[in-house]
Structure 1
Amino acid sequence: MVSDGDSAPDFTAKLAGDEPEEFTLSEQFGEAPLVLAFFPGAFTPPCTNEMVAFQDDLDALRETGATLYGISADSPFSQAAFQDEHGLEFDLVSDMDRAAIEAYDVSLDIDDLGLQGVAERAVFVIDGDGTVTYSWVADDPTNEPDYDAVYEAAEAAA
Protein backbone atom coordinates (compact mmCIF):
# COMPACT_ATOMS: atom_id res chain seq x y z
CA MET A 1 0.00 0.00 0.00
CA VAL A 2 1.09 3.58 -0.62
CA SER A 3 2.47 5.19 2.54
CA ASP A 4 3.66 8.56 3.77
CA GLY A 5 6.86 9.57 1.96
CA ASP A 6 6.12 7.52 -1.16
CA SER A 7 5.84 9.11 -4.59
CA ALA A 8 2.17 9.33 -5.49
CA PRO A 9 1.37 6.75 -8.16
CA ASP A 10 0.14 8.43 -11.31
CA PHE A 11 -3.04 7.32 -13.04
CA THR A 12 -5.48 8.44 -15.70
CA ALA A 13 -9.26 8.11 -15.31
CA LYS A 14 -12.43 10.03 -16.15
CA LEU A 15 -14.07 12.91 -14.31
CA ALA A 16 -17.75 12.56 -13.48
CA GLY A 17 -20.12 14.16 -15.94
CA ASP A 18 -22.39 13.72 -18.91
CA GLU A 19 -19.35 14.17 -21.16
CA PRO A 20 -16.52 12.69 -19.06
CA GLU A 21 -13.17 14.41 -19.39
CA GLU A 22 -9.83 12.68 -18.93
CA PHE A 23 -8.11 13.21 -15.60
CA THR A 24 -4.39 12.51 -15.03
CA LEU A 25 -3.19 12.88 -11.47
CA SER A 26 0.31 14.19 -12.27
CA GLU A 27 -1.21 17.06 -14.25
CA GLN A 28 -2.88 18.23 -11.03
CA PHE A 29 0.29 18.57 -8.93
CA GLY A 30 0.21 22.35 -9.50
CA GLU A 31 -3.08 22.41 -7.54
CA ALA A 32 -1.39 20.81 -4.54
CA PRO A 33 -1.96 19.84 -1.95
CA LEU A 34 -4.27 17.21 -3.38
CA VAL A 35 -6.63 15.14 -1.27
CA LEU A 36 -7.65 11.81 -2.81
CA ALA A 37 -10.67 10.36 -1.01
CA PHE A 38 -11.30 6.82 -2.24
CA PHE A 39 -14.76 5.42 -1.47
CA PRO A 40 -16.43 2.07 -2.25
CA GLY A 41 -19.54 3.23 -4.06
CA ALA A 42 -21.85 6.14 -4.78
CA PHE A 43 -25.32 6.14 -3.23
CA THR A 44 -24.38 3.86 -0.34
CA PRO A 45 -25.04 5.29 3.15
CA PRO A 46 -21.42 5.36 4.46
CA CYS A 47 -20.06 6.79 1.20
CA THR A 48 -22.81 9.39 1.05
CA ASN A 49 -22.04 10.38 4.66
CA GLU A 50 -18.35 10.77 3.86
CA MET A 51 -18.74 12.77 0.66
CA VAL A 52 -21.41 15.02 2.24
CA ALA A 53 -19.12 15.57 5.25
CA PHE A 54 -16.32 16.65 2.90
CA GLN A 55 -18.79 18.95 1.12
CA ASP A 56 -20.01 20.44 4.41
CA ASP A 57 -16.43 21.43 5.30
CA LEU A 58 -15.20 22.07 1.78
CA ASP A 59 -14.50 25.75 2.53
CA ALA A 60 -12.25 24.75 5.44
CA LEU A 61 -10.39 22.30 3.23
CA ARG A 62 -10.03 24.84 0.44
CA GLU A 63 -8.64 27.37 2.95
CA THR A 64 -5.66 25.04 3.29
CA GLY A 65 -5.14 25.45 -0.46
CA ALA A 66 -6.11 21.83 -1.11
CA THR A 67 -8.04 20.38 -4.02
CA LEU A 68 -10.27 17.42 -3.18
CA TYR A 69 -11.06 14.50 -5.49
CA GLY A 70 -13.46 11.69 -4.61
CA ILE A 71 -12.51 8.43 -6.35
CA SER A 72 -14.59 5.29 -6.86
CA ALA A 73 -15.10 2.54 -9.43
CA ASP A 74 -18.54 3.93 -10.32
CA SER A 75 -19.21 5.14 -13.86
CA PRO A 76 -18.79 8.85 -14.53
CA PHE A 77 -22.53 9.02 -15.22
CA SER A 78 -23.46 7.45 -11.88
CA GLN A 79 -21.00 9.75 -10.13
CA ALA A 80 -22.53 12.78 -11.89
CA ALA A 81 -25.98 11.81 -10.60
CA PHE A 82 -24.50 11.30 -7.10
CA GLN A 83 -22.78 14.69 -7.32
CA ASP A 84 -26.01 16.40 -8.38
CA GLU A 85 -28.17 14.68 -5.78
CA HIS A 86 -25.89 15.70 -2.92
CA GLY A 87 -24.67 19.08 -4.20
CA LEU A 88 -21.03 18.03 -4.26
CA GLU A 89 -18.88 20.91 -5.47
CA PHE A 90 -15.67 18.94 -5.91
CA ASP A 91 -14.67 16.58 -8.68
CA LEU A 92 -15.36 12.87 -8.60
CA VAL A 93 -13.02 10.58 -10.49
CA SER A 94 -14.42 7.47 -12.16
CA ASP A 95 -11.90 4.66 -11.84
CA MET A 96 -13.90 2.00 -13.70
CA ASP A 97 -10.74 0.27 -14.94
CA ARG A 98 -9.37 0.37 -11.37
CA ALA A 99 -6.03 1.96 -12.36
CA ALA A 100 -5.98 4.22 -9.29
CA ILE A 101 -7.45 1.58 -6.97
CA GLU A 102 -4.71 -0.86 -7.97
CA ALA A 103 -1.92 1.74 -8.00
CA TYR A 104 -2.77 2.78 -4.44
CA ASP A 105 -3.38 -0.86 -3.42
CA VAL A 106 -6.82 -0.12 -1.97
CA SER A 107 -8.87 -2.81 -3.71
CA LEU A 108 -11.72 -4.27 -1.66
CA ASP A 109 -14.07 -7.19 -2.25
CA ILE A 110 -17.41 -7.05 -0.44
CA ASP A 111 -18.63 -10.58 -1.04
CA ASP A 112 -21.94 -10.10 0.81
CA LEU A 113 -22.89 -7.45 -1.75
CA GLY A 114 -21.26 -9.16 -4.73
CA LEU A 115 -18.79 -6.31 -5.19
CA GLN A 116 -15.30 -7.10 -6.40
CA GLY A 117 -12.41 -4.68 -6.74
CA VAL A 118 -14.13 -1.56 -5.41
CA ALA A 119 -12.09 1.03 -3.53
CA GLU A 120 -11.49 0.73 0.17
CA ARG A 121 -12.35 3.89 2.06
CA ALA A 122 -8.97 5.65 2.07
CA VAL A 123 -7.53 9.16 2.03
CA PHE A 124 -4.18 10.30 0.67
CA VAL A 125 -2.75 13.84 0.80
CA ILE A 126 -0.17 14.68 -1.86
CA ASP A 127 2.12 17.72 -1.88
CA GLY A 128 3.23 19.76 -4.89
CA ASP A 129 6.23 17.51 -5.47
CA GLY A 130 3.96 14.48 -5.85
CA THR A 131 4.89 13.01 -2.47
CA VAL A 132 2.28 11.36 -0.26
CA THR A 133 2.34 13.22 3.05
CA TYR A 134 -0.67 11.54 4.68
CA SER A 135 -2.30 8.17 4.20
CA TRP A 136 -5.25 6.51 5.91
CA VAL A 137 -7.14 3.33 5.05
CA ALA A 138 -10.24 2.27 6.96
CA ASP A 139 -10.14 -0.95 8.95
CA ASP A 140 -13.80 -1.35 8.04
CA PRO A 141 -15.47 0.21 4.95
CA THR A 142 -18.16 1.77 7.15
CA ASN A 143 -15.57 3.84 9.08
CA GLU A 144 -15.10 7.47 8.07
CA PRO A 145 -11.78 9.31 8.14
CA ASP A 146 -10.73 11.74 10.85
CA TYR A 147 -11.64 14.87 8.88
CA ASP A 148 -9.63 17.17 11.18
CA ALA A 149 -6.53 15.04 10.60
CA VAL A 150 -7.08 15.25 6.83
CA TYR A 151 -7.40 19.06 6.96
CA GLU A 152 -4.30 19.34 9.15
CA ALA A 153 -2.37 17.13 6.73
CA ALA A 154 -3.51 19.24 3.78
CA GLU A 155 -2.44 22.41 5.54
CA ALA A 156 0.97 20.90 6.37
CA ALA A 157 1.43 19.83 2.72
CA ALA A 158 0.73 23.33 1.38
Structure 2
Amino acid sequence: MVDVGDDAPDFTAPLADGDVDSFTLSEELGDEPVVLAFYPGAFTGVCTDEMCTFRDNLGAFEDVGATVYGVSVDTPFANNEFRDQNDLSFDLVSDSDKEAIEAFDVVDEDFAGFGYAVAKRSVFVVDADGEVTYKWVTDDPGVEPDYDEVEEAAAEAAE
Protein backbone atom coordinates (compact mmCIF):
# COMPACT_ATOMS: atom_id res chain seq x y z
CA MET A 1 0.00 0.00 0.00
CA VAL A 2 1.23 3.49 -0.85
CA ASP A 3 1.98 5.48 2.27
CA VAL A 4 3.31 8.89 3.27
CA GLY A 5 7.01 9.02 2.47
CA ASP A 6 6.74 6.62 -0.48
CA ASP A 7 7.37 7.59 -4.08
CA ALA A 8 4.02 8.02 -5.81
CA PRO A 9 3.41 5.28 -8.36
CA ASP A 10 3.59 6.62 -11.88
CA PHE A 11 0.68 5.99 -14.21
CA THR A 12 -0.71 7.17 -17.53
CA ALA A 13 -4.41 7.56 -18.27
CA PRO A 14 -6.76 9.65 -20.40
CA LEU A 15 -7.36 13.19 -19.15
CA ALA A 16 -10.80 14.75 -19.38
CA ASP A 17 -9.96 18.43 -19.74
CA GLY A 18 -12.82 19.52 -21.99
CA ASP A 19 -11.10 17.47 -24.67
CA VAL A 20 -9.37 14.12 -24.20
CA ASP A 21 -5.64 14.27 -23.65
CA SER A 22 -3.12 12.06 -21.90
CA PHE A 23 -2.05 12.36 -18.26
CA THR A 24 1.17 10.89 -16.86
CA LEU A 25 1.74 11.67 -13.21
CA SER A 26 5.54 11.97 -13.48
CA GLU A 27 5.13 14.50 -16.29
CA GLU A 28 2.79 16.64 -14.17
CA LEU A 29 5.26 16.95 -11.32
CA GLY A 30 7.08 20.23 -11.44
CA ASP A 31 7.86 22.78 -8.78
CA GLU A 32 4.54 22.45 -6.97
CA PRO A 33 2.45 19.65 -5.50
CA VAL A 34 -0.24 17.58 -7.17
CA VAL A 35 -3.45 16.64 -5.35
CA LEU A 36 -5.04 13.40 -6.54
CA ALA A 37 -8.64 13.13 -5.35
CA PHE A 38 -9.89 9.62 -6.14
CA TYR A 39 -13.68 9.26 -6.27
CA PRO A 40 -15.92 6.25 -6.97
CA GLY A 41 -18.09 7.58 -9.77
CA ALA A 42 -19.19 10.62 -11.70
CA PHE A 43 -22.79 11.77 -11.31
CA THR A 44 -23.22 10.17 -7.88
CA GLY A 45 -24.32 12.32 -4.96
CA VAL A 46 -21.30 12.27 -2.65
CA CYS A 47 -18.82 12.35 -5.54
CA THR A 48 -20.55 15.38 -7.01
CA ASP A 49 -20.46 17.09 -3.60
CA GLU A 50 -16.77 16.27 -3.23
CA MET A 51 -15.69 17.48 -6.66
CA CYS A 52 -17.80 20.64 -6.28
CA THR A 53 -16.18 21.32 -2.90
CA PHE A 54 -12.74 21.03 -4.51
CA ARG A 55 -14.01 23.38 -7.23
CA ASP A 56 -15.24 25.88 -4.65
CA ASN A 57 -11.94 25.74 -2.74
CA LEU A 58 -9.67 25.64 -5.79
CA GLY A 59 -8.29 29.10 -5.04
CA ALA A 60 -6.65 27.85 -1.83
CA PHE A 61 -4.79 25.19 -3.83
CA GLU A 62 -3.88 27.58 -6.62
CA ASP A 63 -2.52 30.05 -4.03
CA VAL A 64 0.19 27.52 -3.11
CA GLY A 65 0.64 26.37 -6.70
CA ALA A 66 -0.96 22.96 -6.17
CA THR A 67 -2.80 21.32 -9.06
CA VAL A 68 -5.92 19.30 -8.26
CA TYR A 69 -7.00 16.30 -10.34
CA GLY A 70 -10.07 14.17 -9.77
CA VAL A 71 -9.47 10.50 -10.55
CA SER A 72 -12.17 7.90 -11.28
CA VAL A 73 -12.68 4.81 -13.43
CA ASP A 74 -15.25 6.66 -15.53
CA THR A 75 -14.57 7.12 -19.24
CA PRO A 76 -13.10 10.45 -20.35
CA PHE A 77 -16.37 11.21 -22.15
CA ALA A 78 -18.40 10.70 -18.96
CA ASN A 79 -15.86 12.72 -16.98
CA ASN A 80 -15.99 15.58 -19.49
CA GLU A 81 -19.78 15.68 -19.19
CA PHE A 82 -19.44 15.54 -15.39
CA ARG A 83 -16.99 18.48 -15.57
CA ASP A 84 -19.36 20.45 -17.78
CA GLN A 85 -22.50 19.81 -15.74
CA ASN A 86 -20.76 20.79 -12.49
CA ASP A 87 -18.66 23.63 -13.89
CA LEU A 88 -15.46 21.98 -12.64
CA SER A 89 -12.43 24.09 -13.47
CA PHE A 90 -9.89 21.33 -12.89
CA ASP A 91 -9.22 18.22 -14.94
CA LEU A 92 -10.38 14.66 -14.32
CA VAL A 93 -8.27 11.57 -14.91
CA SER A 94 -10.15 8.65 -16.46
CA ASP A 95 -8.58 5.55 -14.96
CA SER A 96 -10.85 3.15 -16.86
CA ASP A 97 -8.14 0.46 -17.02
CA LYS A 98 -7.76 0.81 -13.21
CA GLU A 99 -3.96 1.26 -13.39
CA ALA A 100 -3.90 4.16 -10.93
CA ILE A 101 -6.35 2.76 -8.39
CA GLU A 102 -4.41 -0.51 -8.38
CA ALA A 103 -1.03 1.23 -8.10
CA PHE A 104 -2.24 3.39 -5.20
CA ASP A 105 -4.05 0.37 -3.69
CA VAL A 106 -7.41 2.14 -3.46
CA VAL A 107 -9.62 -0.39 -5.27
CA ASP A 108 -13.13 -0.98 -3.98
CA GLU A 109 -13.68 -4.39 -5.60
CA ASP A 110 -17.44 -4.55 -5.03
CA PHE A 111 -18.82 -1.03 -5.05
CA ALA A 112 -22.21 -0.89 -3.33
CA GLY A 113 -22.55 -4.65 -3.78
CA PHE A 114 -22.77 -4.37 -7.57
CA GLY A 115 -19.57 -6.30 -8.28
CA TYR A 116 -18.02 -3.31 -10.04
CA ALA A 117 -14.50 -2.17 -9.11
CA VAL A 118 -14.08 1.59 -8.55
CA ALA A 119 -11.78 3.90 -6.64
CA LYS A 120 -12.13 4.15 -2.89
CA ARG A 121 -12.68 7.76 -1.94
CA SER A 122 -9.15 8.90 -1.16
CA VAL A 123 -6.79 11.85 -1.47
CA PHE A 124 -3.03 11.88 -1.98
CA VAL A 125 -0.77 14.92 -2.07
CA VAL A 126 2.41 14.38 -4.08
CA ASP A 127 5.24 16.89 -3.77
CA ALA A 128 7.46 18.13 -6.61
CA ASP A 129 9.91 15.27 -5.98
CA GLY A 130 7.19 12.67 -6.45
CA GLU A 131 6.92 11.80 -2.77
CA VAL A 132 3.54 11.17 -1.15
CA THR A 133 3.28 13.74 1.63
CA TYR A 134 -0.37 13.20 2.55
CA LYS A 135 -2.73 10.25 2.36
CA TRP A 136 -6.38 9.86 3.28
CA VAL A 137 -8.38 6.74 2.35
CA THR A 138 -11.81 5.60 3.47
CA ASP A 139 -13.72 2.37 2.97
CA ASP A 140 -16.98 4.29 3.39
CA PRO A 141 -17.96 5.90 0.06
CA GLY A 142 -20.34 8.23 1.91
CA VAL A 143 -17.54 10.01 3.79
CA GLU A 144 -15.78 13.05 2.35
CA PRO A 145 -12.22 14.16 3.16
CA ASP A 146 -11.38 16.94 5.57
CA TYR A 147 -10.87 19.66 2.95
CA ASP A 148 -9.04 22.01 5.33
CA GLU A 149 -6.59 19.20 6.11
CA VAL A 150 -6.02 18.57 2.39
CA GLU A 151 -5.44 22.29 1.76
CA GLU A 152 -2.96 22.40 4.65
CA ALA A 153 -1.15 19.32 3.31
CA ALA A 154 -0.88 20.89 -0.14
CA ALA A 155 0.50 24.11 1.39
CA GLU A 156 3.08 22.13 3.39
CA ALA A 157 4.11 20.13 0.31
CA ALA A 158 4.67 23.40 -1.57
CA GLU A 159 7.12 24.75 1.02
TM-score range, shorter chain: over 0.9
Q: Give unpaired runs (5+ residues) of structure 2.
A: none
Offset at residue 116 of structure 1 (A):
2.0
Instruction: Say which is worse superposed, 75-84 or 107-116, in terms of deviation.
Output: 107-116
Scaled by the length of structure 2, what TM-score is found?
0.95
Instruction: Say which is worse superposed, 18-27 or 50-59, in terms of deviation.
Output: 18-27
**Identity over aligned pairs, percent:** 56
- The answer to whether the 8 A contact 2:126-2:132 is kept is yes
Structure-2 residue corresponding to 1:15: 15
User: Runs ≥4 in structure 1, deviation > 3 angstroms?
Assistant: 110-113
Where do residues 1-158 of structure 1 align in structure 2 (5 Å cutoff)? Answer: 1-16=1-16, 19-30=19-30, 32-158=32-158
Q: What is the number of equivalent residue pairs in this alignment?
A: 158
Scaled by the length of structure 1, what TM-score is found?
0.95
Counterpart AA for 2:98: R
Distance 2:157 2:98 in 1: 26
- The answer to whether the 8 A contact 1:50-1:144 is kept is yes
Distance 1:31 1:75 in 2: 29
Counterpart AA for 2:144: E
Cα RMSD for the two superposed structures: 1.3
The 1:133–1:58 alpha-carbon spacing in structure 2 relative to 1, beyond 3 Å, is: same
2:155 aligns to what SS in structure 1? helix
The 1:131–1:53 alpha-carbon spacing in structure 2 relative to 1, beyond 3 Å, is: same
